[in-house]
Structure 1
Amino acid sequence: MILAISYTSRATALHTEEMRLKLMRECELRNVNQGITGLLLYQDGYFFQYIEGVPEIIRQVYSKIQRDPRHHDVQLQSEEVLLQRQFPDWSMFYRDYDFIYPHLQMDLGELMTLAKVIEALDEKPELRQVMFDFLKKKHDGIF
């Protein structure tokens, strides 16, 4: 049995690109060691993360995320039990849309990767919509 959780949150302070990459590397290393897969997106001071794995571990990780001082306003978007992982090959797929968005239209590889994410979420329209809303929103303090 696999538990999947997604959430959104706001950064407590301005994170440089280097700080965001460091956070991603920490997540990826921890996830590999704990058997967690998923994705992490960042844009305009907001995070969207989807994690999946053994239920007890996912609940522990989410509890830790809620207490992490690097972000606040953690909002649970979805929680569901799965028969199989949605992202079995991604210990932590990461995209920083503050950095990549201006170049997105020119990058076929990035568009193909996003297409894979969308395809994986075909059976989860609510979660897909949360992700789309996250990517298209100009965050005005209300998520």
Structure 2
Amino acid sequence: MKNIVYLSTAVKLLHENQLFDILHNSRQHNAAVGISGVLLYADGNFIQVIEGKDSVIDALYARIQADQRHTNIIKLIDEPIAEKNFSEWLMGFAVTDITKAEKLLGYLKSVADLDLNKRNSSVVAAIKNFIENNRLNVE
């Protein structure tokens, strides 16, 4: 098992409904193939953690690199893991209507949601840094 963490820039700014669609589609696909992780979006920038079986993660990352919706993809971490950091798929982003986001299963409501395994991993540190640097409204 492994995880990959990467940063990228959206080709165009995304609206909340587009982000909700990404969350919904990602959760469906990832559940079917055993991928978990977290995706955060702020002002056109993404950070994503994907974790699961090596071959599945490598295949997904290849598709991500070919995806025309974003550019400037920078891989930060690519490492083997003994267990997943994020057993549930989570997504966080800045929203104008928090009540709409709170109804979504898998929406990141708190930084505490990141510490699911109560470990201080480099992956969790990268996500928390992105939240702080982009001033995401995640309490």
Q: TM-score, normalised by structure 2?
A: 0.80
CA deviations 1:92-121 (Å, max 9, x no partner) are 21111x217x97xxx9x933xx21313647
Q: Distance in 2 between the 1:72 and 1:128 partners? A: 23
State which of 119, 123, 126 in structure 2 corresponds to 1:122: 119
Q: 1:72 to 1:120 in 2, by over 3 A?
A: farther
Corresponding position of 2:78: 79
Q: Distance in 1 between the 2:51 and 2:24 partners? A: 17
Is the contact made by 2:38 and 2:48 (CA closer than 8 Å) also made in structure 1? yes
Is the contact made by 2:92 and 2:109 (CA closer than 8 Å) also made in structure 1? no
Corresponding position of 1:93: 90
What number of residue pairs does the alignment pair up? 127
* Structure 2 residue ranges without an equivalent (≥5): 103-107
Q: Which has the higher helix share?
A: 1
Q: TM-score, normalised by structure 1?
A: 0.78
CA RMSD in angstroms comes to 2.4
Corresponding position of 1:14: 13
Q: Which runs of 4+ in 1 moved over 4 A?
A: none
Sequence identity of aligned pairs in percent? 24
* Structure 1 residue ranges without an equivalent (≥5): none
Q: 1:84 to 1:133 in 2, by over 3 A?
A: closer
Q: 1:128 to 1:29 in 2, by over 3 A?
A: same
State which of 124, 129, 136 in structure 2 corresponds to 1:133: 129
Q: Distance in 1 between the 2:131 and 2:45 partners? A: 10
